[in-house]
Amino acid sequence: MIREKDKIEIYIDEGLCKGCDICIELCRPGVFVKSEKLNSRGYYVPVPASMNKCTGCMICELICPELAVIIKKNELVKEVV
């Protein structure tokens, strides 16, 4: 089966992140994991480790209290399932 899907990229602005884990915990498909190393301000920032699970729902971008999660939805790509 071939379906069309947004090509989604997630960026984390490490300089703004305060490691509250809200994105990690509220992402239903579980895209994020906690980074193993601290950012410059001493927080463990999230890493979008499983991008293939991302549905592009945007909750992480909208709910981030620091505007540190940025979602880019680029051109549609065809994906073979």
Interface with another protein by CB under 8 A: which residues? Answer: 11, 13, 15-16, 18-22, 25-26, 41, 43, 58-59, 61-68, 70
33 vs 70, which CB is nearer to another protein? 70
- Residue of 15, 54, 49 lying closest to 35 (CA atoms): 49
Residue with Cβ nearer another protein (70 or 76): 70
Query: Cα separation of 2 and 36, whole Å?
Result: 36
| CB closer to another protein out of 6 and 43 | 43
